[in-house]
């Protein structure tokens, strides 16, 4: 069994229950591995930043709300929801 970190040459981190992490436990390695996984899966470090992700979001919006909606903030109920959330926080903030 390969005991090396997926990113560097250090040994993989061992958990208390005797299983191994995919990396040595170093934050840099963990982040790099996550980025690599996303690049493999989505072609970009973050799914929503990839062209495919953006297209998906647009298509979903179009299908649900019509052709001229390209952003959630254009949807009336989202505007209302935002306002409700704002009021909720204001209310609870005052009463703290």
In the chain, what's the furthest Cα-to-Cα distance?
Answer: 58
Least distance from Zn ion to the Cβ atom of residue 39, Å:
18
With contact defined as beta carbons under 8 Å apart, do 25 and 19 qualify? no
Give me the residues paired with residue 14 across strands: 20
Instruction: Specify burial of residue 28 (Cβ count, 10 A radius: 0-12, 13-18, 19+).
Output: exposed
State which of residues 10, 32, 38, 47 lies at the interface with Zn ion (CB under 5 A).
10
State which of residues 1, 3, 4, 7 lies at the interface with Zn ion (CB under 5 A).
7
State which of residues 4, 8, 15, 88 lies at the interface with Zn ion (CB under 5 A).
8
With contact defined as beta carbons under 8 Å apart, do 53 and 47 qualify? yes
Least distance from Zn ion to the Cβ atom of residue 30, Å:
8
The interface mask with Zn ion, positions 18-37, x = CB under 5 A, is -----xx-x--x--------
The footprint of Zn ion (CB under 5 A) covers 5, 7-8, 10, 23-24, 26, 29
């Amino acid at each position: 069994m390969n005991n090396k970190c997926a990113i560097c040459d250090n040994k993989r981190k061992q958990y208390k229950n005797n299983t191994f992490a995919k990396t040595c436990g170093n934050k840099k390695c963990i982040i790099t591995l996550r980025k690599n996984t996303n690049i493999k899966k989505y072609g970009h470090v973050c799914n929503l930043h990839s062209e495919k992700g953006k297209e998906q979001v647009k298509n979903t919006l179009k299908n649900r709300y019509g052709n001229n909606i390209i952003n959630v903030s254009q949807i009336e109920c989202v505007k209302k929801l935002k306002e409700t959330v704002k009021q909720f926080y204001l209310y609870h903030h005052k009463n703290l």
